[in-house]
Structure 1
Amino acid sequence: MTAWPDPVLPSSQSTNPRQLKRLSRTFAGVGVGIPPERLQQIAMGEQATEDELVDVTFAIAATALISEKRRSKVSRAQRRCVHGVIVGVAILIAINVLLCLGLALFVLTQHTSPY
């Protein structure tokens, strides 16, 4: 499991309203409904209630967990895809070798004399 840093809201200088709306929608996806304006106020250092801080901390940790699960799912799918390609290529090579051996035996039997 990955060690996550302490949850911190982005600073008010590095965020724009679009980013705050996206962050608010992401938080709503994990069950925390905080409007973007309030997120900006909290990021600027305005006093927040204990419940809001708990909600924000939970939302940041939950979104980090969801993001990590998504990344692990994608990497697992990539590994499965590469494994499938390797197996497919190995099967094609094996069939090719068998066909070549069969052809070689057929050609050798055609050159032998029947007596």
Structure 2
Amino acid sequence: MTDWSDPRLPTNQTSSPRQLKRLSRNFAGVGVGIPPERLQQIAMGHAATEDELVDVSFALTATALRSEQRRSKVGRAQRRCVRGAIVFVAILIAINVLMCLGLFLFVLTQHTSPY
């Protein structure tokens, strides 16, 4: 069971007007238009229609799902960057080893006598 499978609206004690505005914008991003004032009323326990409760429940679930997808996308990008950095460092090490071997062979040929 994930954290978005049981959606709950933040209570009035834990939500500021700024948080409610952000929550309202997030809800609008998933297609549910509820003003922050109405969200505050619902959070305080005022009467809400069944449609509003369904909309709030859907919006909470959808925003949590979008957030989880965004976090997984960022995680994949970070892993890809780390993998690329490891490959880059491995290539640098391989080039360094080849150059050292070439220098070593060059020095060996300089110390041999021509006769």
**TM-score interval (norm. to shorter):** over 0.9
- Structure 2: gaps (5+ residues): none
Runs of 4+ in structure 1 off by over 4 angstroms are: none
Counting aligned pairs with the same residue, the percent is 79
Q: How high is the TM-score relative to the length of structure 2?
A: 0.95
RMSD over aligned CA atoms reads 1.0
Unaligned runs of 5+ in 1: none
- Amino acid corresponding to residue 29 of structure 1 in structure 2: G
Taking the TM superposition and a 5 Å limit, the aligned residue runs for 1:5-44 are 5-44=5-44
Deviation at residue 108 of structure 1 after TM alignment = 0.3
CA distance in 2, matches of 1:99, 1:19: 59
- Number of residues paired by the alignment? 114
User: Within 2, Cα distance between the matches of 1:17 and 1:99?
Assistant: 64
Q: Which moved more, 1:4-13 or 1:79-88?
A: 4-13
Give the 3-state SS of the residue equivalent to 1:114 in structure 2: coil
Matched, 1:3 2:12: no
Aligned pairs for 1:1-115 within 5 A: 3-4=2-3, 5-115=5-115
How far apart, in 1, do the equivalents of 2:93 and 2:54 lie?
Answer: 59
